[in-house]
A = this chain, B = another copy of it.
Amino acid sequence: MIARVLVDGQAGDRISVMDRGLGYGDGLFETIRFLGADAPLWSRHMHRLENGCRRLGLPMPGAGALLAEARAVSRELAQSVVRITLTRGIGARGYKPPTKPQPTRIVAAFDVPPCDEPAQAEGIRVRLCTLRLGVQPALAGLKHLNRLEQVLARAEWDDPTIAEGLLCDADGLAISATAANLFAVFAGVAATPAVDRCGVAGVARAQVLAAWPHVQVRPIPLDELRGADELFLSSSVRGILPVRELDGRALAVGPVTRALQSHWRELGF
């Protein structure tokens, strides 16, 4: 039987209680959509992980070994989501990082979420979260393990007909959903919030920006967002999700959203 989880390359699903990933959230992760042995956005995930390692001072594992491990855990699944977690490894008590960290590498395969074809076709309902994201340029953009803001925001609602929550920062700028990036279209021009003060620089977002280089990356105040002609979310797991309702206000699914959904399908998803 093939292991579904590898810890440092070995079958096993447990880590030390002294791991700094547990103790301090001292690490990074990636959630990567696989289609059989292929992950169309693999190189973007590795690029972000490498950037995160550089900013946190972690050694980057070899991308070839990571890919082999991701394929090993997912190979019994026609489609899967592979989560790679990289921590600063075991350390003594205290915030000071070890001089030569031995990172812990966890590679785990999951089934893909249940089919969300209706969401893709008709769009999703999004509410406005009460929680505001804190501004922290030193961590902004990274997919690190300090995710209590997202946990608290996602705990704000339980209505299964609401798929996502919109997060603003303390200054009233719209930033993202709890687990997806945000795009808005104003008079035919697409824009996405900057993520240099808070938020995560999503891999699907990077793909959209590469495919459509004229998308504006800029601060988007919530008040401006409410006047958008189109809104959609991007997620490496869920793809391009049209927003059909924001905080009670109905929106049409427009041509820019549909064009990006086509692009997404062309990637193989």
Pair A152/B138 contact, Cβ less than 8 Å: yes
CB neighbours of A198 from chain B (8 A) = 134
**A70-96 contact mask (Cβ, 8 Å, vs B): 1 or 0:** 000000000001010101100001111
Question: Is residue A269 within 8 Å, beta carbon to beta carbon, of the partner chain?
Answer: no
Question: Is residue A46 within 8 Å, beta carbon to beta carbon, of the partner chain?
Answer: no
Secondary structure class of chain A's binding surface, majority of residues:
mixed
Give this chain's copy count.
2
Q: How distant is the Cα of A57 from the Cα of B93 in the complex, in angstroms?
A: 26
- Specify the chain B residue showing the minimal Cβ separation from A139: B148
CB neighbours of A25 from chain B (8 A) = 24-25, 145-148
Please list 7 pairs of residues, one from A and one from B, whose beta carbons are closer than 8 Å in the complex, sorted by A's number.
Answer: A14-B14, A20-B151, A24-B145, A26-B151, A94-B179, A131-B138, A132-B138
Residues of A bordering B, CB below 8 Å: 5, 7, 13-26, 29, 31, 56-57, 81, 83, 85, 87-88, 93-97, 106, 108, 110, 131-136, 138-139, 144-155, 170, 178-179, 198
Taking A20-B151, A25-B146, A132-B138 as known contacts, 8 extra A-B pairs with beta carbons closer than 8 A to each other, sorted by chain A number, are: A13-B16, A14-B17, A23-B147, A26-B147, A56-B151, A88-B151, A94-B154, A135-B135
